[in-house]
Chain A
Amino acid sequence: MTTGRVEAPTRREADLYATSSRTILLALAPILVALTLAGALLLALGVDPLTYYGYVLQRGLLSPLGFEGTITRMAPLLLLAASLIVAFQAGIWNLGGDGQFLLGALTAAAAGPPLAAHLPVSAALLLCLIVGAGVGAVWALLPALLRAYQGVNEIITTLMMSFLGVSFANVLVKLVFRDTTTTVPQTRTLPVADRLPRLFDTTVTSGVLIGLVAIVVVQLVITRTAFGLRLRVVGANARAAVHAGLPVPRLVVAAFVISAGLAGLAGAVEILGVEGNVRADWNPAFSLTVVPLVFLARFNGFAAIFFVFLFSVLSIGGESAAHRMGVPSFFNLVIVALVLVLLALAEYLGGRRLSGPVA
């Protein structure tokens, strides 16, 4: 013990370095291998992978317009990542993010134009964001209460509520909030002047700032506060939470409400910042797309920012590259899927379990 204590700090630092570099390697290696494999697939499709990836980089990252598009795309994804991190850290599989997102979006789209006509823009926007988040949270109450007090598996209930939410949003667009001045079934369009302000002289929406703030706040709350630790204890070992006297059902409901609220907020931000209205049958299914990114980030908010950025580049650049080179636009999902499969493989070979939420 005594002799060990002298050299302990250096060894610990070395260990720490080894562990973190190992973690980074375990996260990055699958991405590189996935890009290689996807390249082989492109070759098989008769497309030059280097040209394809070149386009992706050019259109998603290097061209000013593409880069702005990438950053704009990050706004809803960051909020959804924050939403999922809260849920997963508390051991809850909130897979209903798409329904919560869409209902939040619809609420903002429906409330935006009338509010903007009567209130100052900033007040109208703030109200829309709050109401959008609130509706998203309400949509998760049923699964939350069932899980917290009856132990009903939330994977099923949140997915079901998501389907219901998506359909319900569609019905509302077509029957209640339809803009009668156009033939397209969609809600009234929020004038560009009344939307979330753009950053500087670019097309980038300030929604991305909301997203960044949200994910950083979530990360700090989860890692630095008593509330965050309580959620993590519930997520890591619910029986230990009971033993330590934590109000587990209430914490589960709280995690659900925050998670779904953030998903609803993501929808509102996307409408108020980018879309301006909700078209019938519009469902970008961002939430389910973000699930693998959050796993790649191991539920760390800062890492999630990086992966969301990477995915946005791939997504914006990929749309353009796919269009130009005759590859289906879903190809970037193939790349994400490859990354996930390889990630699981790396975890297996690395001998470490993916510490996901326990269903």
Chain B
Amino acid sequence: MTAAQPRRDPLVSMRGITKRFPGVTANENVDLVLRPGEVHVLLGENGAGKSTLVGMLAGLQQPDAGTISIGGRSERIDSPGRALAFGIGTVFQHSMLVPSLSVLDNLALGGSWWRKPDRAGLVARLREMCRDIGIEVDPDVVVGSLSLGERQQVEILRALLRGSQVLILDEATAMLTPKGAEDLGVLMRRLVARGLGVVLITHKLNEAVTYGDRISVLRLGRNVGEIGPTALASLDRKSATDEIVRLMFGVDSRSTTEEASDRRDAHAINTSNPPPVSEEQPESPSPLWRGVRGEGRDALTDAFLCPPTQVFQPSPLTPLHKGEGNSFHASEICAACSAALSVEHLSVDDPLMPLADISLRVAPGEILGIAGIDGNGQKQFAEALAGQRPVRAGTIRLDGHQVGQLDVAARHALGLRYVTDDRLGEGTVAAFPLAINLVLKEIGARPFWVGGWQRSATIDTHARKLVADFDIRTPDIQTPIGKLSGGNIQRALLARELEGPARVVIFAKPTSGLDAQNAQATRRRIRDAAASGVAALLISTDLEELLAVCDRIAVMRQGRIVGVVLNDGMARQCVGEMMSGA
């Protein structure tokens, strides 16, 4: 943490902020000090607590502990209206404008209801403001016809016209084109030049380095570090990124006992119960799988610090394991024959994040991690594998059989399982009993249905068994699953997907939103499943988790696999760099 000299008194300071939600501590003892004339970047993964923290500034939520002072006085921001009155304006990721109204009408909204909006005065102020900050906005154009970047400018204008001194931009660049993001960067500089304080929330490292004067990193709801203006100015781009990677993924700031024991568990399993293929080399869990063809070309052309042996060779015919003597050829070991899951040149269309040419193999008993910053195509990949979304090109093989043309139910029956991260949105039907949710992917199948008629006794027996086996804490198997806690809903999902002849299980962010104990139990399930011969694909944005659990880690960026590394001493550095694309 760098001790930077504040140039002026802070506009807003948050001290010791703690915010808890049922089962989750979103913020724990977080400090954030916003100074005039600075772009303060709040950096962290999804779920790190950034949005909760600024939600409290915006008056959407109240802290459970800690103080917020504005201009040196401790204040309570108990509504969005109060926040605006204090000069704190927020621009959310999704546009909060009325698309069918003109820019001017949108800006006039929120005035006193009994007064006719002073349109002429507003136009004059709008023109003046536009001139001051150097943007062009036509007040009469309908908002719906503007690009997302232009809408954002209108939202910023609205905040400024209401006299905001602090401007919060929540994931402001997420929906913008690169050009739009650049324009926003220029605009932010002009704003801070006028003495405003800007908070930019992002999970993109390069934006943090490009736009920020000061960078605070949040991780699992805690401050893990801050880089002040002087320090940031003295670092070049590369070393600044390195420093952030160290803060975001480094152990020094977060070596809790839970994680440490997790890692010990992982090693204990790997050494006492090595997967069959790894007997020759207990150090690297599945040496054969080093040779599996990964989409390594990008990773190789990108200049990052990993030693070449860390990256899989682009051709399966290249000698696989340099430097350790035993160079296999992929053709000799016939990886495709023994892989539980093999994906070749998979491409998927998607308006937000299409997938291009993904090739991966996962062996029985192996845990392959998919690392990457959220929104880089992980969800699309998981859904394509599970059969929830059409595939444009490429093949998916389960135990050597093509499954690309099968539907979800058929793939589930063959043992291809998907533990979704959207537990309430798509994983369960909240209002339905736990017992029914446990057979949701087998509706109509024996023995739970015979001739289309439900066998409730069988379904209940099955549910009771899973409740006991997976330790689902529920008042009753008929309790609507939506009434259970997040951890228990996750146990139910794990029970459903791991039950029966599971061969390949995709775990999408399986510990997100869970407390430490449930997260640990979930990781143990994943390892147990792998130990019993299941091929596991673990999609996670938590590098620590991947390092603790996986045999190999693939990195996904912009809808591609940019590299696959063995989980050994160098993995942390390599994966972190490939993730950020630095």
Known: A12-B476, A239-B426, A245-B441. A355 touches B387 (CB 8 A): no
B427 at the interface (CB under 8 A from A): yes
B426 touching A245 by the CB < 8 A rule?
A: no
Give min CB distance, B412 to chain A, whole Å: 7
A226 touching B426 by the CB < 8 A rule?
A: no
> Per a CB cutoff under 8 Å, which of A8, A225, A237, A242 touches B388?
A242
> Per a CB cutoff under 8 Å, which of A8, A229, A236, A243 touches B443?
A229
> Per a CB cutoff under 8 Å, which of A12, A226, A229, A237 touches B430?
A237
Bound complex: CA A246 to CA B388 (Å):
10
Question: Which positions 215-242 of chain A face chain B at CB distance < 8 Å?
Answer: 224-227, 229-230, 232-233, 236-237, 239-240, 242
Known: A12-B476, A226-B444, A244-B443. A233 touches B429 (CB 8 A): yes
Give min CB distance, B406 to chain A, whole Å: 9
Chain A residues in 8 Å Cβ range of B328: none
Known: A224-B454, A244-B409, A245-B387. A230 touches B444 (CB 8 A): yes
B476 touching A244 by the CB < 8 A rule?
A: no
B407 touching A245 by the CB < 8 A rule?
A: yes
What size tier do the contact residues of chain A reach?
Answer: 20 to 34
Q: Among the interface residues A224, A245, A247, which one has the most CB atoms of the partner chain B within 10 A? A: A245
Known: A244-B440, A245-B412. A226 touches B454 (CB 8 A): yes
Chain A residues in 8 Å Cβ range of B436: 229
Bound complex: CA A245 to CA B407 (Å):
6
Question: Which positions 9-61 of chain A face chain B at CB distance < 8 Å?
Answer: 12
Chain B residues in 8 Å Cβ range of A227: 444, 452
Nearest chain B residue, comparing its CB with the CB of A229: B443
Chain B residues in 8 Å Cβ range of A226: 443-444, 449, 452-454
Give min CB distance, B550 to chain A, whole Å: 25
B431 touching A243 by the CB < 8 A rule?
A: no
Give min CB distance, B438 to chain A, whole Å: 12
B110 at the interface (CB under 8 A from A): no
Chain A residues in 8 Å Cβ range of B429: 233, 236-237, 240
Give min CB distance, A258 to chain B, whole Å: 15
Bound complex: CA A12 to CA B476 (Å):
8
Nearest chain A residue, comparing its CB with the CB of B448: A226
Bound complex: CA A243 to CA B407 (Å):
10
B106 at the interface (CB under 8 A from A): no
> Per a CB cutoff under 8 Å, which of B408, B410, B430 touches A244?
B408
Interfacial residues, chain A to chain B (CB-CB below 8 A) = 8, 12, 224-227, 229-230, 232-233, 236-237, 239-240, 242-247, 355
Closest 7 CB pairs of A and B: A245-B408, A226-B444, A245-B409, A243-B426, A239-B426, A226-B449, A237-B429
A-B contact pairs, 27 of them (CB 8 A): A8-B475, A8-B476, A225-B453, A226-B444, A226-B449, A227-B444, A227-B452, A229-B443, A233-B429, A233-B432, A233-B440, A233-B443, A236-B430, A236-B431, A237-B428, A239-B426, A240-B425, A242-B408, A242-B426, A243-B386, A243-B426, A243-B427, A244-B408, A244-B440, A245-B408, A245-B411, A247-B407
